[in-house]
Amino acid sequence: MKEYNVAIVGATGVVGEEMRKILEERNFPVANLKLLASARSAGRRLTFRRTGILVEELSAGSFKGVDIALFSAGATVSREFAPLAVKAGALVIDNSSAFRMEPDVPLVVPEVNPEKAREHKGIIANPNCSTIQMVMVLKPLHARSRIRRVVVSTYQAVSGTGKGAVRELLGQSKAVLSGEPARVEVYPHQIAFNLLPHIDVFLENAYTKEEMKMVNETRKIMGDSGMRITATCVRVPVFVSHSESVNIETEKKITAEEAREILEKAPGVEVIDDLESCAYPLPIFAEGKDLCYVGRIREDDSIENGLNLWVVADNLRKGAALNAVQIAELSIK
């Protein structure tokens, strides 16, 4: 089997660390692994296949000899360094929002639109974490009957913001339980024992950037610019795994039983929906796992062709690192 020189940009972040783990778990054909990060993280040594690898400072010359570059360092870094990686001959799989809506950059979820990966011109975009898990469930239902409208509310874990947010939730929780004031640094308000209906910046239309990512990215991935979508994205005091309440309206009726049958056959999806035993997807159950879990499947009796779904997935794995590695696997095929 041919092996590839792989680079991870943002190797010391939460998603970069998951990328390294998943490359090893899935036995990706890595000849050499280059770990790239900012100057403050350079010099650390991380383990891959029982071998210590020195983290290097990201620079314009970092991509010489690299075949595949997995980017997880944010949009600003991607805009500057992804074109340099492509120029050096690498395929870039970018986890940031930098290129997702560019018309000549495919936005790919391998279980949903794998054919789009072949259309790349050096960069393939990894969708937003909350978008990925939603389209994993929407696509097979959309194939049965076109989805006309989506109303989604997300409940997103703090790890989606990064290590600083994880530390903040832990520190605030300890402080509150000890009767001390919670220190607020990462988020505009206390996140411990609280909910924040505010992810990313507010836009002129009063939606947040995160909410509009879900709208625009879903339309692009599903290949349906006319799909009506509205989103409310909420940050919750959970460490890992995003949850979503998804309401859809289809052109032709899909019963709850039919929806379960469709989703049980969908790749990368597992149905957990047994009300008698209180079985439904939970964030703590999804953590560390690769599937998207769906339950609470029921018909919406307020409209003729409506369904309600509850979707949960590990935001660091399928929502980011795993999907990127799957795109790499798809590309080398």
**So which residues are the catalytic ones?**
129, 242
Rg (CA), the chain: 20
Contact 132, 109 (CB under 8 A): yes
Strand duo 242-250 + 147-156: pairing: antiparallel
Q: Which helix (H) or strand (E) holds 147?
A: strand 147-156
Please name the residues in contact with 283: beta carbons below 8 A apart, sequence gap of 6 or more.
Answer: 157, 238, 240, 241, 242, 243, 312
Edge to edge, the sheet with strand 68-71 lists 45-48, 51-57, 30-37, 4-9, 68-71, 91-94, 123-125
Contact 214, 229 (CB under 8 A): yes
Give the C-alpha separation, 53 to 50, whole Å. Answer: 10
Give the distance from CA 211 to its chain's centroid. Answer: 14
Tokens for 215? 């709208």
Give the C-alpha separation, 130 to 128, whole Å. Answer: 6
Q: Which helix (H) or strand (E) holds 143?
A: helix 129-144
Give the C-alpha separation, 91 to 161, whole Å. Answer: 26
Q: Return the bridge partners of 120, or none.
A: none
